Amino acid sequence: MEELGRLEDLPLEYRQELLKQNLVPLWPSLRGVLPPKIPTRQTKPIFWEYASIRPLLLEAGDLAPIEKAERRVLVLANPGHGIEKMQASSAIYLGMQLLLPGEYAASHRHTPNAVRMIVEGEGAYTTVDGDKLQMHRGDLILTPTGLWHEHGHEGQEPVIWLDVLDLPIVYYMETSYHEEGKSQNVSNGQLSKLYVHGGVLPTSLNPKSNSQYPMLRYAWADVRASLEVMAKQDPPVEALQVTYVNPLTGQDAENILGFYALMLRPDQTLTLPARSPASVYHVIEGEISVHIAAEQFKLSIADTCCAPGYTPVTLKNHSSTEPAYIFMVDEAPLHRKLGVYEIR
Ligand code: GTQ
C-alpha cells in the first residue's frame, strides 16, 4: 500500500497540541480507513463443529441455571473481531442456545432482530408477540425488533437452536437495549400457518391484521418442499436457493440480515460470486465442503461457518446420492439499504 506521511514524522510538540484539542491528522490514517479497491475485513473464515459445541452446551445446562442465565447460550465468536466482541461478522451474531425440559426463558424484547434455526430436540416453543410457535428441527422462527418473546419446553429431551441476531451492528449504532416483560397472552401460532404458498395470501388477516410481521415461523417441511419443486424444473435451475421473505411485502423477512435456504444436488458444486456482505452457512441436512478464499471446511449436519464479504464462496455436496440443505445468512438487506451492496 502506498504510504502517506507518518504520525511519527510530525514534531512531538505538534502532536501533543493536537491531542490536547482532540484533533487527529488524517493523512497518516487515510489509507487505513479507505484502502485501495477492497475493504480491510476483520471477519475471518471460521468454522464451528456442532459435535464439539454440544457437550460444552450441555455442561452449561448444569453450570448455569436458566433463572440465573436468562438465556443459556454459547456464542460463536470470530477471533478476527476479538472473541470478546461476540460477533461472527460486523453485523452477524451467532449463538447456540440450550433449553432443558420444563425450563422457561422469560419474556423480553429488544431492539436487535433475532431468528432461531432449530438444530435438535422436540417439544420447545417460542412465543412471539402472543403467537406460540412450535420448534421443530430446521424451522426458522423470527423475533423481529421490538416484539416480545419467551421460550419454553414441554418435551423430554434437551432442545438446541442456533440464534442469529444483528446485535453487533445494532450495538455499534448505540441502539441496543432490552426490556423485561410480563408473560404474554398466548394464541396458537395460527397467523404463521395461514401463509402456505408464496403466490396467494390470506385476504383477511383478523385479528392481528395490522401486524408488520404476519409470518413468524417458517416450517422446514414447507421450505424443503419448495426447494424440491425447484430441483425438478426442466430446464434445470442451477442455484437452488430460496429467500425467507415477509409475505406482506415480498421483501426480506427482517430489516438487517437476510435468510436463505439452499439445496445442493448430489455431487453439485455451486460457486457464489464475491459480494460485499459477510455470510454464514449452517448445514440442515447432508455433508458439504465450503471453500472460502484459501480456507476449506468440511461441514456435517448442524455445523456452521462464516465468510467475509468480497470473497467468493464455493459449496460442494459430498454425497453422490443425497441432496444437501443449507441455511444461509448474510448482511445483504443492510448493504442494500445503505447503498453499498456489490456483486463483483
Ligand atoms: O433468546 O432472546 O443468543 O435475547 C442473545 C440474546 C438469544 C433470546 C441470544 C437474546 C436471545
Q: Which tens digits make up the pLDDT trace of 27-42?
A: 999 999 999 999 999 9
Residues 152-183 have pLDDT tens digits of 999 999 999 999 999 999 999 999 999 998 77
Task: Verify whether ligand 1 is closer than 6 Å to residue 192 (CB atom).
Answer: no
Domains of the chain: 42-338 (2.60.120.10)
> To the nearest whole number, what is the mean pLDDT of the chain?
94
CA-closest residue to ligand 1 atom 11: 71
β-pairing, 240-243 with 279-285?
Answer: unpaired
Nearest protein Cα to ligand 1, atom 10: 71
CA distances from 245 to 250, 257, 300, 321 (A): 6, 11, 27, 30
320-336 pLDDT, tens digit per residue, is 999 999 999 999 999 99
Cell, residue 134: 412450535
pLDDT band at 208 (very low <50, low <70, confident <90, very high): low
Confidence of residue 210 (pLDDT cuts 50, 70, 90): low
Q: In this predicted structure, what is the pLDDT of residue 150?
A: 94
Q: Give the separation between CA 302 and CA 57, rounded to whole angstroms.
A: 14
Q: How many helices (H) and strands (E) does the chain have?
A: 8, 21
Complete DSSP assignment for 169-222: HHHHTT---EEE-PPPP-B-SHHHHT--STT---S--TTSTT-S----EE-HHH
Rounded Cα distance between 75 and 293, Å, is 24
Which pTM does this prediction carry?
Answer: 0.96
User: 71 CB under 6 A from ligand 1?
Assistant: yes
Q: Is 18 helix (H, G, I), strand (E, B) or coil?
A: helix
pLDDT digits (tens, 9 = 90+) for 260-294: 999 999 999 999 999 999 999 999 999 999 999 99
Q: Is the CB of 160 under 6 A from ligand 1?
A: no
Ligand 1 mean position, distance from CA 61 (Å): 16
Say if residue 195's pLDDT is above 70: yes
Mutate to test the pocket of ligand 1, among 163, 167, 257, 304 (most ligand atoms within 8 A of CB): 163
Inform me whether the pLDDT recorded for 199 exceeds 90. no
Summarised one tens digit per residue, pLDDT across range 63-75 is 999 988 989 999 9
- DSSP codes, 25-91: -STTTHHHHS-SSS----PPPEEE-HHHHHHHHHHHHHHS-HHHHSS-EEE---GGG-GGG--SSSS
Query: For residue 108, which atom of ligand 1 is closest to its CA?
Result: 2
Select from 70, 73, 94, 98 the residue to mutate for testing ligand 1; criterion: most ligand atoms less than 8 Å from CB: 73
Length of the chain: 344
Cα diameter, the chain: 73
pLDDT score at 138: 98
Classify residue 318 by burial, with Cβ atoms within 10 Å: 0-12, 13-18, 19+: middle
Answer yes or no: is pLDDT of 314 > 60.
Answer: yes
Q: Which residue blocks in 206-331 are alpha helix, DSSP H?
A: 220-231
**Per-residue confidence band for 187, with pLDDT thresholds at 50, 70 and 90:** confident
> Best substitution site from 66, 71, 160 to test ligand 1's pocket, by max atoms within 8 Å of Cβ?
71
Question: Residue 209's pLDDT band (boundaries 50, 70, 90)?
Answer: low
Q: How far is the CA of 188 from the centre of ligand 1 (A)?
A: 22
Side-chain-side CA neighbours of 11 within 13 Å: the count stands at 3
The answer to whether the CB of 73 is under 6 A from ligand 1 is: yes
Say if CB 113 and CB 300 are below 8 A apart: no
- 86 contacts 152 by C-beta, under 8 angstroms: no
Kindly tell me the sign of the dihedral angle through the C-alpha atoms of 55, 56, 59, 61: negative
Q: What is the pLDDT of residues 240-263, one digit of tens each?
A: 999 999 998 999 999 999 999 999
Residue 151 CA: which ligand 1 atom is closest? 1
258 lines ligand 1 (CB under 6 A): no
Q: Over range 2-17, report the average pLDDT.
A: 91
Is the pLDDT higher at 91 or at 181? Answer: 91
